[in-house]
Structures are given as C-alpha cells and as structure tokens.
Amino acid sequence: MVSSLGVAIVRQYQRGVVFRFGQIRPVREPGIQFMIPLADRMRKVSLRTVTMPIPSQQVITKDNVSIGVAAVAYFRRVDPIQSIVAIENVEDAISQIAQTTVRNVVGRSNLDDVLSETEKLNESIKDILDITTERWGVLVELVELKDIELPQSMQRAMAREAEAEREKRGKIIAAEGEALSAGKLAEAADVIQRHPVALQLRNLQVLGEIAIERNSTIVFPAQLMDSFRALNSFVDRETGARADGIVPAAYAAE
C-alpha cells in the first residue's frame, strides 16, 4: 500500500526492481526509496542464500543398481533484474533442474563411485547447475548429496564383502605374526645349539615363573632332571678346572 503512494523501504539484504509503465528502471539500494505514484511498481528481491532440499528420488546407477538419492542445494540471487525478467519462478526452476541434474550425474556413475567419490559428484552437479542458472542471475554456491538409500539385498551383500575383507586382513596379519615368530624361534634354536646351557637356564626360568603360584603342583619330567644333572656336571667341571689353574675352552677361545 505504501509503495503505491510512492514510498518504499528496501532492507539491507534486499534490492528493489522498479517497473515504470512496464519498463525496468535502475535497481534501488537499501533504504527509503521514492517512486512516482501509480506509475512505478517495485518488486523486492532477497540476496540471501537460500537452502533448497532436493527430495529423494530413485536412480539407476551405471552398474544397474537402483538407489534412492536425496540432496540439498544452496544458491543466491546475484542479479536482481535477471532473476525476475529472465524466468518466471526461479526457485521452482532451480528445484526441477537440480533434481534432473542429480539423477543424470548419479546415473552415469557406478555405485562404488557414488559411495566413495561423493565430493566429485557434488562438484559435477554444482558446475552443471551454475552453467544453467547463470543466465537467471543466480549463483549456486554448494550442492551436497546428503542421503543415499541402498536396497536391503545390496546392504547384505556389502556387509558380507566387508566381513570377508576383514577376515582376509586378519588372516594375513596372523600369518605375518607366525612368520616372525618362526624366525625368532629359529634364532633362539641356533643360540641354544651353540650354548646348550641356555636351555637349562630357560627351564629354570620357567620353573621360577610356575612357582609363583603356591597352590600349583609341579611335576619334574625325567628330561628336566637330566638337565639338572648336566647343569651340575658343567658347574663342577668349571669349578675344578679353575681350581687346578686350567683355563676352560670357552674362555681360551675368547
């Protein structure tokens, strides 16, 4: 009502597009704007970013998998005049072209690419929309695929694939551990072969670990008793040799 009297208030985030007898006049900036009563008509255009949800739609991917894809687009008007003159309803047009573009871009991709390369698909959709909406005075700032619905059969197949992949990695890690363990055991066997007393010392160490549990019953096998006797014989020989002033062979070699 006030605009028909020749006065209009344009907010900071708006621009005023004035028609004088049907012809475009210069864009009016924020503030109080005066117009010619009955001759001028103003349409206010918001320059704020608009969030537009793109509803979920069924798309058949390149590898013939039917999925549901939903997205969201962010755009804003950068040319107030073109957004009014070049198209009748810019928001409805962007909604329709966005749905079509999402369906086309996703339909040209394999399912693995849709799931793993979402950022590339978002950028492709944004570039296509930018080319289309540029002549409408609209800039598409961002497009994001926010929801991808897979069929139940495909979800089960992917779960089995992920489980098999984890089992494969687990078996590989276990095999690598066995290989490392075998190598260390081989090195230990070489050391024991060069120094037989090391085996007896190892047996004593194991007995010491077992003896920590006072309620345990320890059974000494015959082989272990032989090890004790061999160890005692070795100690006796070393002690007798030192008493006689004879240098043992192990020290002579050093």
Task: Go through the domains of the chain in sequence order and give each one's CATH number.
Answer: 7-46 (no CATH), 49-150 (3.30.479.30)
For residue 253, the model assigns a pLDDT of 43
Q: What is the DSSP string of the chain?
A: -TGGGTEEEE-TTEEEEEEETTEE-PPBPSEEEE--TTTEEEEEEE-S-EEEEEEEEEEE-TTS-EEEEEEEEEEEES-HHHHHHT-S-HHHHHHHHHHHHHHHHHHTS-HHHHHH-HHHHHHHHHHHHHHHHGGGTEEEEEEEEEEEEPPHHHHHHHHHHHHHHHHHHHHHHHHHHHHHHHHHHHHHHHHHHH-THHHHHHHHHHHHHHTTSTT------HHHHHHHHHHHHHHHHHHHHHHTTPPPHHHHH-
pTM of the entire structure? 0.60
Residue pLDDT tens, the chain, 254 long: 455 567 888 899 889 899 888 888 888 889 888 888 888 888 899 999 999 999 988 888 888 888 899 999 999 999 999 989 988 899 999 999 999 999 999 989 888 888 888 899 999 999 999 998 999 999 999 999 988 888 777 767 777 777 787 888 888 888 888 888 888 878 877 777 776 666 666 766 766 666 666 655 655 554 555 656 666 676 677 676 666 655 454 444 44
For residue 233, the model assigns a pLDDT of 72
For residue 223, the model assigns a pLDDT of 55
